Amino acid sequence: MTPYQTLCTLSKEVALLSSIEALLSWDIETYLPPGGIEARSEQMAFLATMIHSQTIQPTFLKNLRKLIDLKSGKFLKKNLTKEEKANLFHWRRKLKETLSLPAHFVTEFAKTTSQATTIWQKARTEDRFSLFLPVLKKIISLCRKKADYLGYEEHPYDALLDLFEPSMTTKKITPLFAELKEGLCSLLSSIEKKEKPRDDFLHQIFPASEQLKWTPKLLAAYALNKNSYRVDLSAHPFSTEMHPSDVRFTSRIIENHPTSHLFSTLHEAGHALYAQNLPVKYFGTPLCEAISMGMHESQSRFWEVFIGKSKAFWRYFYPKLQESFQKQLKKISFEEFYRAIHIVKPSLIRIESDEMTYSLHIIIRYEIEKALIEGSLKAEDIPEAWEEKMQNYLGVSPSSDKDGALQDIHWSMGSFGYFPSYTLGNLYAAQFFEAFQQRNALWERSIQKGDFAFISDFLKTNIHRYGKLYSSEEILQRITKRPLQVSCFLSYLKTKYEKIYCDEGPSSR
């Protein structure tokens, strides 16, 4: 085989191991019996060590050196295709990252986070941050070590952020988030002065069995391959992929809060569609991987918010929803329902927050994470910092750890640097949606008739099919002709909510 073919073969072996690791992680959140966590943590640590070893094996290193200079990134062979160059670029990047992390550290990190997930679940159930604190301290310490191993130029958090959103730094993200925070707080202040729509009818009992029947109805809009995904329930909705032909995601059901299931399903299915549409012929190489976590999040938010909360979407689906829940919704008009799902009300829970306040939840987490990694905040002071920021930005304060610092699973997984991806996803999605509207002037008319295929086609054609051929910045420029900015998202929110919160809407009586 040629050096490039050898690299593809070895890369696929690593991808297969990673897919097994993903399956075991999915099982932890869904079907693993409580007594199995100790054995599972050992399995995860074993796999992480094996993946680490395979990634830096001498044969891979030897063949990669024949095609690209590991220090400079200069290509050493002429006539390489753009696809080959992209794979070589990402293989070199991953290799440098992996070589930076000692095998003993990788094993310790995997074992610690596997155990921490179960500890977090118990601490959350019992509403005891103190139970989670010892292992959280250890994870923070490990994340600081990871940043040191990986290296950074200006801030240790940059090394962790780069793992999820390549080339993003605190220097770039801090002013973006500051501008966004100012804009959101201004919009929120304006809306809070207006009368809120009624939503009491959404807090009746919507039986879980009937809500479950709605999952396939919603998913019909996505053009998902029915033989290549599975949906389950979990406390914290998530999505993971083993292969484009094997994608798993979860939703959750709250009987007196039906929109939780509706919108978490729309959200996670957006992730699933991206995973299914990645070019399977390149499986095992970076060309069959998502560009970044922010880009992945943009696909879920595009469906959940920009499509799933549009008037056109519910013009089609609401009559069907009324039919399924006649007792609860028969007397509720379309306009009442539409305004109810757009109530802007600062809440304690991130995943249940409205699209206006959602990013403020992320900014709070970003600021806390950054402070923890740089050492300006101690782990035991997280609940106090959390309460203070929630009060300052959203005007609400958690009365329990369960609704505060224990509500997210990410820290137990060691995923420091992940949270900013959620808001970056909102910003990406807003720019994509603007371009989508420009290219599909009659999109609302089509959706109202039940035609959704062109939405999936737009995303697949412009984003999914490329894998990691282009960076996030390049994809944005190709589709929107502009770099990442906050103004598009703020403009979308302002235009939409000024109409919803006009004085002529149904009152809250």
pLDDT at res. 509: 31
Q: What is the pTM of this model?
A: 0.92
At which of 116, 151, 186 does a domain end? 151
Same domain assignment for residues 264 and 116: no
pLDDT at 443 over 50: yes
Same domain assignment for residues 178 and 146: no
Average pLDDT value for residue range 202-213: 96
Per-residue pLDDT reduced to its tens digit, 114-123: 899 889 999 9
Give me the phi and psi of 227, to 5 degrees please.
Answer: -90, 0
Domain membership flag for residue 427: yes
Domain membership flag for residue 477: yes
Same domain assignment for residues 123 and 180: no
Same domain assignment for residues 190 and 145: no
Domain membership flag for residue 506: no
Distance CA 148, CA 126 (A): 35
pLDDT at 15 over 80: yes
Same domain assignment for residues 76 and 13: yes
Same domain assignment for residues 443 and 299: yes
At which of 151, 184, 213 does a domain end? 151
The amino acid sitting at 446 is: S
Quote the percentage of the chain above a pLDDT of 90: 90
Same domain assignment for residues 296 and 438: yes
Q: How confident is the model at residue 292 (pLDDT cuts 50, 70, 90)?
A: very high
> What residue numbers bound the domain in which 217 lies?
170-500
Same domain assignment for residues 121 and 224: no
Encoded tokens for 140? 């923070």
Domain membership flag for residue 165: no
Distance CA 389, CA 123 (A): 22
pLDDT at 416 over 80: yes
Q: How confident is the model at residue 235 (pLDDT cuts 50, 70, 90)?
A: confident
The total domain count for the chain is 2
At which of 99, 124, 151 does a domain end? 151
- Kindly name the residue from 21, 165, 268, 434 that is annotated as catalytic: 268
- The contacts of residue 505 (CB under 8 Å, 6+ apart) are 197, 335, 339
pLDDT at res. 196: 85
CATH number at 330 reads 1.10.1370.30
pLDDT at res. 408: 92
Same domain assignment for residues 208 and 65: no
Domain membership flag for residue 120: yes
Same domain assignment for residues 280 and 419: yes
Buried b (16+ CB within 10 A) or exposed e, 72-99: eeeeeeeebeebbebbbbbbbeebebbe
Same domain assignment for residues 362 and 259: yes
Same domain assignment for residues 319 and 401: yes
Average pLDDT value for residue range 243-268: 95
Is residue 268 annotated as a catalytic residue, yes or no?
yes
pLDDT at 111 over 50: yes
Per-residue pLDDT reduced to its tens digit, 38-50: 999 899 989 998 9
Average pLDDT over the chain, rounded to an integer: 94
Q: How confident is the model at residue 267 (pLDDT cuts 50, 70, 90)?
A: very high
pLDDT at res. 506: 44
Domain membership flag for residue 122: yes
Domain membership flag for residue 159: no
Per-residue pLDDT reduced to its tens digit, 450-500: 999 999 999 999 999 999 999 999 999 999 999 999 999 999 999 999 989
